[in-house]
């Protein structure tokens, strides 16, 4: 019999308490002068043996209650409990880049990866006979090539552990969780266990909340466990965002470039340098690049305090075309430099053409609803500085019936128009244009718009059913909106919802709180994104007319439009800004089986380095660069984010109540909740309850406390 | 707290008045020195007709039944039952066992104490008897069986005025005291009953007021002898409800009132057996007393005794009337 919380067995010492009380503490009896002593003496004499028996029973009951309660708290794994026996273990071992980080140990610094392997070995060795293990090394996906796909005997797994390799991948739990759950769901073994060994911080657990919550349903009765490795960094600067201010990058124009930094450590970071460059070769390590290699701009920052965030504005002057731009932040004392770099492929064009398709304003029939959009876009373009050419941002405004030629249009805003209501000709034009890899943004209060079936847009613009509006989920649930509106992910979006949106879609309720619920609904975030061919449609359940809300008059409206505009560039270059492991959607490109990036219509590239290494990559064919073949791989994005280990309570919240947290560094379990498999605690607690009941009966029988 | 029985409050006065109205009737034939309300074994010439008998010379011609002579032409003497007073022999138990319940520290007894209730009943009986013109004699069993107190009769029978006050004064001086006793002292009630039996007393009413917590067989034998002497016997058994029901909880140490015996136990564990033993004993007492033609009533010291006593007196009155008495 094993125990999940063996230190709780120390509580068994409390079993001595009733005995000690019995021996030491005697109740001071009530003294009663008595006359009928003969009867009393006869009664005592005749009931003495029964009384002793009852007293003994009471003492035994009480001792057993304490012993068994302690045993239950120690959470024994008993063979007689269903779910015990051979285990089918899916062992997810984090091999992402952050696992290179060295941790101080008693035997000297060791990488988290090494600690994780030790923990894996410990877990495998502890398995009961007949168990089998599916070893799944993962970064942002399962590294299927490193280990056999079939479950192995524990002895073979121990050998495989030694052959595991570290990668530069980011950490994403969801793909690995999904794959492991699928594999275990097909297992014919009764006792299933899914164990994660990772340094995943709280943000990554939060991002995987959906998969974690689904696990109990997908794997009923299985155990989920997490051994965490890694300790908090005293100072850790992460580059959160890098891109042109206002979104649309204009060629040959000095344009602000926005870089956002965050110190997720517990101490200040000092002497920071942020550099913007166009590296000529691949690789993640900015130190490997020549110091002046394609340098665009550079700025220094004295200090970022713990938990602080800074937005820096650099300047970029780029020629027309696609460019790989890498932003890096360096500072003394960094432990995990990959978090301080962010690569991005941008396209500089001139001019940029934005089409606003509008209807007539309900406020002023003479004014179109796209008026405020145009004003915001003009504000984003800004006034030309002295000596510079005015930014060639062209805003076109057309009616739904006459959309006109869309070939040169970079971005379309539908202002207050429901796309299904567009004339057929205009709808077809927009569909074809979007599917070719463009961004269509539709503004409008779509709440309550019924789903349609015979419509080229499908149900893309079906509104939220007001009847389904529920209590708003917490902010982390609106992850879709986060991906699009990164600057608005937290406070501005929240403010947007709480302050403005409640005026947008009033349900007519008197209670303002009820109106506020409209910020997000169950599964219906404020901002929705849907792919359409190679393009993308973003739907905002927001008014763009002052008749709908005062959103357009608020200071956050221009930045909101800017963020959406920026998204236009992201969509257009989606293939070129790759998350490591994310397959490109370009029909002419595909990822090689393991590490090579190649073209399908030409000979295999001579590039042999791992494509999934973070950085800017240029595809060459026999030493000759392929046209426009520039890719940015975000291998390190998200690594090291909030390296403070997730509090146990947070993880429990994420995973329901079926998670074991084990700290691999201290080899001491940090949490005690688990699933049912093999655990005898509930059975013992049932016995304890029965004993307590018996104790009560015996105590009543025995006539009071001992 | 004074040990004097209190009858001067409104409840006590009411109780006493009702008791006097009902009277304490002797159901057996008693012998007295004066004309009274009680049946006498002797024939006399009183109010209550007894029988006719043939005239013999020497009979007082005033008692000839001339109507009977007219019908039968035979001289017949008309006899009447002699009614006399009686002597109430109150045997009061104030042995240490009657000190229950009392404070274990101060030895005080309350008005719910058995001793107090017994004295109260004695006083009531004495006053009722006095109101009927009967004599009252008080016998005390207090466990002090020394030579000085060898005679247990502390108030001899008298009908003079102030007898009631004398009884009250005497009762004020009496109080049961807990203490270690010898086995002989423990059976002090038996000793006193022995004296009652051995004295050449006229047939009267013997009222025993006690908890009877002594060895029952000797007591039973003596009570049978009391009846054999022709006395009417009435036993008021005074017990506290605690002694009958054992209602205590938790850890309790019982200190014997008559010895140094101490018993620590959990009453809950012995309650069932104890109450069974007590109930069996009470049944046996009732049966034995009924067997000798004695009256028995259980008086709970912690309850108001008025109803119990008045019911008993009413019952005796009814039975007396049923048997032809007044």
Give me the CATH number covering residue A255: 2.60.40.10
Q: Which of A30-39, A274-283, A493-502, B304-313 is predicted least confidently?
A: A493-502
**Phi, psi at residue A152, to the nearest 5°?**
-120, 160
Verify whether the Cβ–Cβ distance A704 to B259 is below 8 Å: no
For range A393-420, the mean pLDDT: 84
Pairing status of strand A624-633 against strand A577-578: parallel
Residue A404 maps to a domain: yes
Task: Evaluate if residue A390 carries a pLDDT over 60.
Answer: no
Q: Which of A4-18, A256-270, B264-278 is predicted least confidently?
A: A4-18
Contacts of A52 in chain B (CB under 8 A): none
Residue A591 maps to a domain: yes
pLDDT band per the 50, 70, 90 thresholds, residue A606: very low
Contacts of B178 in chain A (CB under 8 A): 33
Structure tokens at B135: 């004599």
Continuous H helices in A361-510? 371-381, 424-435, 479-484, 491-495
Query: Locate tokens 């613009």: which residue?
Result: A461
Residues of A with CB under 8 A from a CB of B: 26-44, 46-47, 50-51, 54, 702-704
Could you give the CA distance from residue A481 to residue A476 in angstroms, rounded to a whole number? 10
Contacts of A51 in chain B (CB under 8 A): 265-266, 269-270
Structure tokens at A629: 């073949």
Contacts of A503 (CB under 8 A, 6+ apart): A515, A549, A550
Name the residue facing A39 among B259, B268, B274 (closest C-beta): B274
Same domain assignment for residues A130 and A96? yes
Verify whether the Cβ–Cβ distance B249 to A28 is below 8 Å: no
DSSP reduced 3-state for A305: coil
Name the residue facing A34 among B250, B255, B277 (closest C-beta): B255
Structure tokens at A507: 């349900």
Cβ-contact A648, A661 below 8 angstroms: yes
pLDDT confidence of residue A264? 74
**Phi, psi at residue A504, to the nearest 5°?**
-80, -55
pLDDT confidence of residue A72? 81
Quote the minimal CA–CA distance from A62 to chain B in Å. 18
Q: Which of A234-243, A400-409, B68-77 is predicted least confidently?
A: A234-243
Task: Evaluate if residue A703 carries a pLDDT over 60.
Answer: no
Could you give the CA distance from residue B73 to residue B90 in angstroms, rounded to a whole number? 51
Could you give the CA distance from residue A462 to residue A457 in angstroms, rounded to a whole number? 10
pLDDT by residue (tens digit) across B199-244?
A: 877 788 899 999 998 889 999 999 999 888 888 899 999 999 999 9
- CA angle A84–A86–A87, rounded 5-degree value: 90
pLDDT confidence of residue A611? 52
Q: Which of B229, B212, B171, B204 is nearest to B296 (CA)?
A: B212
pLDDT band per the 50, 70, 90 thresholds, residue A479: very low
Task: For residue A188, count CB atoms less than 10 angstroms from its CB and return exposed for 0-12, middle for 13-18, buried for 19 or more.
Answer: exposed
Q: Any idea of the CA torsion for A110, A113, A116, A118, to the nearest 10 degrees?
A: -60
Contacts of A49 in chain B (CB under 8 A): none
Domain boundaries of chain B, sorted by first residue:
10-32+86-315, 35-83
pLDDT band per the 50, 70, 90 thresholds, residue A312: very high
pLDDT confidence of residue A304? 92
Same domain assignment for residues A432 and A338? no
Cβ-contact A555, A504 below 8 angstroms: no
Could you give the CA distance from residue B265 to residue B253 in angstroms, rounded to a whole number? 6
Same domain assignment for residues A252 and A275? yes
Could you give the CA distance from residue B145 to residue B186 in angstroms, rounded to a whole number? 10
Residue A147 maps to a domain: yes
Same domain assignment for residues A419 and A550? yes
Quote the minimal CA–CA distance from A40 to chain B in Å. 6
Same domain assignment for residues A198 and A301? no
pLDDT by residue (tens digit) across A465-474?
A: 555 554 444 4
Q: Any idea of the CA torsion for A490, A491, A495, A501, to the nearest 10 degrees?
A: -20
Name the residue facing A30 among B99, B252, B269 (closest C-beta): B252
Quote the minimal CA–CA distance from A42 to chain B in Å. 8
Same domain assignment for residues A381 and A520? yes
Residues of B with CB under 8 A from a CB of A: 96-104, 114, 178, 211, 213, 242-243, 248-259, 261, 263-270, 273-274, 277-278, 281
Cβ-contact A226, A654 below 8 angstroms: no
For range B60-83, the mean pLDDT: 82
Beta bridge partners of A662: A227, A669
Same domain assignment for residues A433 and A379? yes
Cβ-contact B30, B203 below 8 angstroms: yes
Supply the CATH number for residue A101's domain.
3.40.50.410
Cβ-contact A340, A334 below 8 angstroms: yes
pLDDT confidence of residue A459? 64
Same domain assignment for residues A395 and A492? yes
pLDDT confidence of residue A298? 93
Q: Which of A28-37, A243-252, A507-516 is predicted least confidently?
A: A507-516
Contacts of B217 in chain A (CB under 8 A): none
Task: Evaluate if residue A477 carries a pLDDT over 90.
Answer: no
Could you give the CA distance from residue B30 to residue B86 in angstroms, rounded to a whole number? 6
Cβ-contact A91, A29 below 8 angstroms: no
The CATH number that domain B10-32+86-315 falls under is 3.40.50.410
Quote the minimal CA–CA distance from B47 to chain A in Å. 50
Among the candidates A536, A553, A572, a domain finishes at A572
pLDDT confidence of residue B310? 86
Residue A683 maps to a domain: no
Could you give the CA distance from residue A86 to residue A80 in angstroms, rounded to a whole number? 13
Verify whether the Cβ–Cβ distance A704 to B254 is below 8 Å: no
Verify whether the Cβ–Cβ distance A43 to B270 is below 8 Å: yes
- Number of structural domains, chain A? 4
For range B94-99, the mean pLDDT: 85
Question: What phi-psi label fits residue A337: left (phi over 0), alpha (psi between -120 and 50 degrees) or beta?
Answer: alpha
Cβ-contact A405, A424 below 8 angstroms: no
Query: Locate tokens 């655990």: which residue?
Result: A679
Residue A684 maps to a domain: no
pLDDT confidence of residue A591? 43
pLDDT confidence of residue A456? 66
Task: Evaluate if residue A614 carries a pLDDT over 50.
Answer: yes
Give all strands of the β-sheet with A237-244 in edge-to-edge order: A237-244, A255-263, A309-316
DSSP state of A370: T
Verify whether the Cβ–Cβ distance A41 to B258 is below 8 Å: no
**Phi, psi at residue B253, to the nearest 5°?**
-110, 120
State yes or no: cis peptide before A240, omega within 30 of 0.
no
Tell how far CA A692 is from the center of its chain. 45
Q: Which helix (H) or strand (E) holds A175?
A: helix A173-185
Residue range(s) defining the domain that contains residue A694: 2-25+36-79+689-702
DSSP reduced 3-state for B106: coil
Could you give the CA distance from residue A484 to residue A478 in angstroms, rounded to a whole number? 11
Quote the minimal CA–CA distance from B102 to chain A in Å. 7
Contacts of B187 in chain A (CB under 8 A): none
pLDDT confidence of residue A287? 47
Cβ-contact A305, A270 below 8 angstroms: no
Could you give the CA distance from residue A416 to residue A209 in angstroms, rounded to a whole number? 34
Q: Give me the percent of chain A exceeding a pLDDT of 90.
A: 8
Cβ-contact A194, A133 below 8 angstroms: no
Verify whether the Cβ–Cβ distance A33 to B255 is below 8 Å: yes
Task: Evaluate if residue A449 carries a pLDDT over 70.
Answer: no
Same domain assignment for residues A279 and A203? no
Question: What's the full length of chain B, in residues?
Answer: 326
Same domain assignment for residues A151 and A227? yes
Closest residue in B to A30 (Cα) is B252
Cβ-contact B19, B309 below 8 angstroms: yes
Name the residue facing A29 among B213, B251, B281 (closest C-beta): B251
Structure tokens at A180: 């492991």
Same domain assignment for residues A159 and A211? yes
pLDDT confidence of residue B312? 84
For range B288-292, the mean pLDDT: 91
Task: Report the sign of the C-alpha dihedral through residues B306, B308, B311, B316, in that order.
Answer: negative
Continuous H helices in chain B? 10-22, 66-72, 114-131, 163-172, 183-186, 188-198, 216-228, 241-245, 267-291, 306-322
pLDDT confidence of residue B275? 94
Q: Which of A137-141, A368-372, B143-147 is predicted least confidently?
A: B143-147
**Phi, psi at residue B76, to the nearest 5°?**
-130, 135
Closest residue in B to A46 (Cα) is B273
Verify whether the Cβ–Cβ distance A42 to B101 is below 8 Å: no
pLDDT band per the 50, 70, 90 thresholds, residue A299: very high
Contacts of B225 (CB under 8 A, 6+ apart): B193, B197
Same domain assignment for residues A206 and A273? no
Closest residue in B to A50 (Cα) is B269
For chain A, counts of helices (H) and of strands (E) = 15, 29
Pairing status of strand A352-358 against strand A411-415: parallel
For range B26-35, the mean pLDDT: 62
Of residues A8 and A116, more confidence is placed in A116
Task: Evaluate if residue A139 carries a pLDDT over 70.
Answer: yes
């Amino acid at each position: 019999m094993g125990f999940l919380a063996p230190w709780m067995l120390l509580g068994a010492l409390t079993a001595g308490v009733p005995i000690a009380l019995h021996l030491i503490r005697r109740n001071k009896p009530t003294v009663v002068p008595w006359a009928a002593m003969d009867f009393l003496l006869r009664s005592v004499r005749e009931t003495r043996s029964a009384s002793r028996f009852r007293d003994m029973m009471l003492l035994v009951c009480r001792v057993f209650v304490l012993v068994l309660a302690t045993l239950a708290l120690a959470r024994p794994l008993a063979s007689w409990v269903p779910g015990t026996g051979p285990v089918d273990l899916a062992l997810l071992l984090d091999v992402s880049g952050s696992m290179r980080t060295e941790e101080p140990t008693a035997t000297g610094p060791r990488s988290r990866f090494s600690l994780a392997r030790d923990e894996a070995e410990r877990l495998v060795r502890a398995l009961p006979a007949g168990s089998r293990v599916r070893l799944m090394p993962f970064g942002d996906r399962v590294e299927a090539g490193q280990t056999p796909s079939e479950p192995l005997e524990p002895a073979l797994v121990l050998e495989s552990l030694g052959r595991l390799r570290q990668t530069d991948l980011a950490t994403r739990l969801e793909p690995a969780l999904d794959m492991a759950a699928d594999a275990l769901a097909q297992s014919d073994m009764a006792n299933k266990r899914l164990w994660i060994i990772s340094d995943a911080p709280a943000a990554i657990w939060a991002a995987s909340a959906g998969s974690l919550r689904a696990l109990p349903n997908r794997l009923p009765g299985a155990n989920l466990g997490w051994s965490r490795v890694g300790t908090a960094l005293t100072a850790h600067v992460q580059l959160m965002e890098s891109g042109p201010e206002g979104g649309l990058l204009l060629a040959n124009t000095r344009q602000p470039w926005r870089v956002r930094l965050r110190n997720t450590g517990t101490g200040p970071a000092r002497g920071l340098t942020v550099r913007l460059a166009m590296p000529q070769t691949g690789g993640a390590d900015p130190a490997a690049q020549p110091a002046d290699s394609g340098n665009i701009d550079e700025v220094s920052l004295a200090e970022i305090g713990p938990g602080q965030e800074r937005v820096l504005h650099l300047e970029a002057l780029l020629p027309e075309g696609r460019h790989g731009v890498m932003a890096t932040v360096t500072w003394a004392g960094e432990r995990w430099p990959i978090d301080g770099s962010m690569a991005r492929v941008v396209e500089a064009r001139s001019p940029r053409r934005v089409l606003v398709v509008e209807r007539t304003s309900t406020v002023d029939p003479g004014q179109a609803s796209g008026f405020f959009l145009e004003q915001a876009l003009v504000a984003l373009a800004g006034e030309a500085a002295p000596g510079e050419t005015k930014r060639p941002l062209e805003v076109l405004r057309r009616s739904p019936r006459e959309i006109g030629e869309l070939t040169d249009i970079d971005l379309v805003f539908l202002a207050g128009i429901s796309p299904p209501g567009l004339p057929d000709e205009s709808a077809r034009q927009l569909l074809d244009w979007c599917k070719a890899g463009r961004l269509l943004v539709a503004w409008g209060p779509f709440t309550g718009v019924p789903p349609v079936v015979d419509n080229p847009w499908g149900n893309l613009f079906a509104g939220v059913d007001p009847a389904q509006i529920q209590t708003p989920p917490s902010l982390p649930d609106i992850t879709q909106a986060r991906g699009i509106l990164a600057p608005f992910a937290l406070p501005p979006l929240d403010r947007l919802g709480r302050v403005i949106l409640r005026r947008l879609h009033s349900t007519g309720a008197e209670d303002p709180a009820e109106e506020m619920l409209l910020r997000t609904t169950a599964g219906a975030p404020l901002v929705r994104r849907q792919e359409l061919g190679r393009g993308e449609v973003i739907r905002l359940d927001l008014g763009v007319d002052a008749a709908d809300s005062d959103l357009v008059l608020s200071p956050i409206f221009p930045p909101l439009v800017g963020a959406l505009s920026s998204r236009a560039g992201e969509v257009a270059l989606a293939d070129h800004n790759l998350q490591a492991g994310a397959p490109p959607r370009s029909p002419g490109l595909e990822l090689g089986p393991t590490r090579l990036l190649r073209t399908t219509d030409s000979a295999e590239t001579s590039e042999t380095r791992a494509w999934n290494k973070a950085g800017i990559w240029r595809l060459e064919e026999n030493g000759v660069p392929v046209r426009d073949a520039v890719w940015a791989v975000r291998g390190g994005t998200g690594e090291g984010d909030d390296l403070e280990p997730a509090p146990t309570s947070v993880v429990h919240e994420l995973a329901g109540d079926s998670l074991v947290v084990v700290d691999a560094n201290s080899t001491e379990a940090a949490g005690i909740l688990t699933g049912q498999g093999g655990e005898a605690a509930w059975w013992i607690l049932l016995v304890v309850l029965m004993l307590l009941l018996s104790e009560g009966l015996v105590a009543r029988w025995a006539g009071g406390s001992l | 707290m004074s040990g004097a029985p209190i009858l001067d409050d409104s409840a006590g006065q009411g109780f006493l008045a009702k008791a006097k109205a009902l009277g304490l009737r002797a159901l057996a034939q008693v012998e007295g020195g004066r004309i009274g309300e009680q049946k006498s074994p002797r024939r006399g010439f009183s109010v209550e007709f007894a029988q006719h008998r043939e005239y013999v010379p020497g009979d007082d011609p005033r008692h000839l039944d001339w109507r009977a002579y007219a019908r039968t032409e035979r001289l017949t003497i008309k006899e009447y039952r002699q009614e006399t007073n009686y002597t109430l022999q109150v045997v009061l138990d104030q042995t240490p066992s009657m000190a229950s319940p009392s404070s274990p520290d101060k030895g005080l007894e309350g008005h719910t104490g058995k001793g107090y209730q017994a004295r109260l009943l004695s006083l009531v009986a004495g006053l009722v008897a006095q109101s009927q013109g009967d004599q009252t004699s008080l016998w005390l069993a207090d466990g002090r069986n020394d030579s000085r107190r060898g005679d247990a009769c502390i108030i001899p029978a008298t009908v003079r005025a102030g007898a009631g006050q004398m009884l009250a004064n005497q009762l004020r001086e009496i109080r049961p005291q807990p203490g270690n006793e010898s086995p002989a002292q423990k059976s002090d009630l038996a000793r006193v009953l022995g004296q009652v039996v051995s004295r050449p007393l006229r047939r009267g009413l013997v009222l025993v007021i006690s908890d009877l917590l002594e060895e029952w067989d000797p007591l039973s034998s003596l009570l049978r002898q009391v009846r054999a002497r022709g006395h009417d016997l009435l036993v008021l058994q005074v017990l506290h409800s605690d002694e009958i029901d054992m209602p205590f909880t938790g850890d309790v140490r019982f200190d014997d009132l008559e010895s140094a015996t101490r018993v620590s136990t959990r009453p809950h564990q012995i309650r069932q057996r104890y109450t069974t033993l007590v109930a069996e004993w009470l049944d046996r007492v009732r049966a034995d007393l009924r067997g000798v033609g004695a009256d028995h009533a259980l008086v709970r010291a912690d309850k108001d005794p008025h109803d119990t006593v008045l019911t008993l007196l009413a019952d005796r009155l009814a039975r007396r009337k049923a048997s032809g008495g007044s």
